[in-house]
A and B are shown apart, each in its own frame.
Chain A
């Protein structure tokens, strides 16, 4: 009787403690990564490999997503704008939506799946097979060796990937507008240029860099937090993807509130 009454309270209390503990763990994780960042000698040589793996190899999936997003944006815009709104507004919508929002966010989400999962699984496996401990016994700081090059690569390469994604998205919309809609290239380009501000691109890249930081950090955090066996690695991987995706959406809202007046 009394147990049933207090159970929800206990649950709330326990959840709150858990959340606070997670933040605490993430805080100390961040500190160790920051400390590892000073150890340039350890991670500097590993950066190129990670940039290739997280960035260059992510291009196909990011471009695939972006191309189809551009196509859908163009079609949807023309569907919505029937009649009252001039058709060249398709260009406006494709440019604004692709560069400000969908380019960075969809790329971020796709890479949260690919990169975040990859990092969490890799570090998680190293953790449960004691390779992380082995690094320690060989006098390496595992955070400098494993986390820092991945996070730095993420911060640099996400914007790079997003530039391509933005471009391919706009291109996809363009080709669709010209081939499937009654729109000429000059009209579409006019729409593209109509409300364009260079800040749009900056905004896109700022978002992308923050997503890169988040996805890789979250991947490393869950990777390092893995204890147990293969099943634990699976759990960490899932958690990294879920937490990474949620963080991207929250950050996206944050940037919109902070930078779009």
Chain B
């Protein structure tokens, strides 16, 4: 079982963002989705967990089409899919502990078990002992790690990362990339990592898909993408907008 996206279309008013995306995420793999800013990467990720409803096309997770799920089924699905937000989206008014515990409390786990699971999750992101801090007291990298801890506290089957390294310094970027790989190997999760940072993509991904003008322009292993002839792909990978010019 895995995630299958077929002919997905989404527009906001007159603005067409996705115009027929088809993509399959294989069990256990880490798939990176790359593309320029504003191309619709986040929109794609949000439709997977039902935060956005597509105009057309289907998203099937573990054999169930997301759009047809009732509220309770959708919540049940979301417990299997951890979502790491671009700017962590921590709840400002709560401590790190409470942030990580939020989802667990919702499952009505007994308090000791919640504490254990929060501990475990904070341990995974190497933030043990930060439970009492408020988000405002953390650095950008630490916040992202708390966001990750919150997502893995459910012990999910899938992890979706929205630009986990954007805005971080190279050292912190490496720390986060290492964490992503660790999650994948320790927990055996299937991951989708959105990024526009090629170094990160090469480091974490088994396969890389490129989103361009509403569709998947290219999909393949890091080696394949390095060897791609498509000027659009080469332009993005090599950071040369002149190559991408005038091609569609």
Residues of A within 8 A of B (CB): 42, 125-126, 129-131, 133-141
Determine if B103 and A139 form an interchain contact, defined as CB atoms under 8 angstroms apart.
yes
**Stretch in B15-23, B74-82, B186-194, B204-212 with 4+ CB within 8 Å of A:** B74-82
| Dominant secondary structure of chain B at its interface with chain A | mixed
B202 within 8 A of A: no
Interface string of B79-117 (1 = CB under 8 A from A): 101110111011110000000001100110000000000
With A129-B89, A130-B89: A139-B51 Cβ-Cβ less than 8 Å: no
Q: How far is the CB of A21 from chain B (nearest CB, A)?
A: 12
Closest to B50 in A: A136
How far is it, in angstroms, between the C-alpha of A138 and the C-alpha of B79 when the chains are bound? 7
How far is it, in angstroms, between the C-alpha of A125 and the C-alpha of B90 when the chains are bound? 12
B10 within 8 A of A: no
Determine if B150 and A133 form an interchain contact, defined as CB atoms under 8 angstroms apart.
no
How far is it, in angstroms, between the C-alpha of A205 and the C-alpha of B179 when the chains are bound? 57
With A129-B89, A130-B89, A131-B91: A137-B81 Cβ-Cβ less than 8 Å: yes
Q: How far is the CB of A150 from chain B (nearest CB, A)?
A: 14
Determine if A133 and B106 form an interchain contact, defined as CB atoms under 8 angstroms apart.
no
Among B46, B76, B90, B106, the most chain A Cβ lie within 10 Å of the Cβ of B106
A-B contact pairs, 5 of them (CB 8 A): A130-B89, A131-B92, A136-B78, A138-B78, A138-B103
With A137-B49, A138-B78, A138-B103: A130-B87 Cβ-Cβ less than 8 Å: yes
Interface string of B44-79 (1 = CB under 8 A from A): 001001110000000000000000000100011011
Q: Which residues of A contact B151 (CB under 8 A)?
A: 137
Q: How far is the CB of A92 from chain B (nearest CB, A)?
A: 47
